[in-house]
Chains A and B, each alone.
Chain A
Amino acid sequence: MVKQTPDVGTLETEMNRGFLHILVLSLLENEMYGYSMVKHIESLGYQVEENTLYPLLRRLEKNGWITSRWDLSTDRPRKFYSITPAGRAIRASLLDIWKAQNAILDRVTKMTKITGENSNGQ
Chain B
Amino acid sequence: MANNKLEAYLEEISHYLSGRAEREEILNEIRSHILEKAASATGGSPSDEAIAQAIAALGPARRLAERYAEDRPIIAPAYKRYLFRYTTLLFAIHTVLIVLAVIFKESFIIFPILFVPQLSPFDAVLYLPMAFLADLGLVALVLYFITQSGKDIVLPWPKFGLDLDEVKPPRRRFWSIFGTAVGTTIMLAITSFCLHLLARYDTIFLYLTRTKEPRPIFTAEAGHYLSILIIILFAVSTLALAIKLFTESRWVDIVSNAITLAIIGLVLRQPFDNLFAINIPDGLLSWLKPTILIVLLIIAVATAYNLIRDIVRVSRHHLQK
Contact = CB atoms under 8 A, between A and B. Distances in A.
SS class, residues of chain A in contact with chain B: helix
Contact of A34 (B32, B39, B63, B64): B32
Contacts of A34: 29, 32-33, 36
A58 B32 CA distance: 15
A51 to B, nearest CB: 5
Contact of B68 (A33, A38, A55, A77): A55
Contacts of B64: 51
A38 B37 CA distance: 10
B28 interface: yes
A38 B33 CA distance: 10
Interface in A1-40: 33-35, 38-39
B213 interface: no
Given A35-B33, A79-B32, A58 B57 contact: no
Contact of A78 (B22, B36, B37): B36
A99 interface: no
Contacts of B29: 34, 54, 57-58, 79
B58 interface: yes
A79 B28 contact: yes
B58 to A, nearest CB: 5
A77 B71 contact: no
B57 A76 contact: no
Contacts of B59: 51
B26 interface: yes
A39 B35 CA distance: 15
A50 B36 contact: no
A54 B40 contact: no
Contacts of A62: 71
A58 B26 CA distance: 8
A40 to B, nearest CB: 13
Interface of B: 22, 26, 28-30, 32-33, 35-37, 39-40, 57-59, 63-64, 67-68, 70-71
Interface of A: 33-35, 38-39, 50-52, 54-55, 57-59, 62, 70, 76-79
Given A51-B67, A58-B68, 11 more contacts: A34-B33, A50-B37, A51-B64, A54-B33, A55-B68, A58-B26, A70-B28, A76-B32, A76-B36, A79-B28, A79-B32
22 contacts: A33-B32, A33-B36, A34-B29, A34-B32, A34-B36, A35-B32, A35-B33, A35-B37, A35-B40, A39-B40, A51-B63, A51-B64, A54-B30, A54-B68, A57-B29, A58-B22, A76-B32, A76-B39, A77-B28, A77-B32, A78-B36, A79-B32
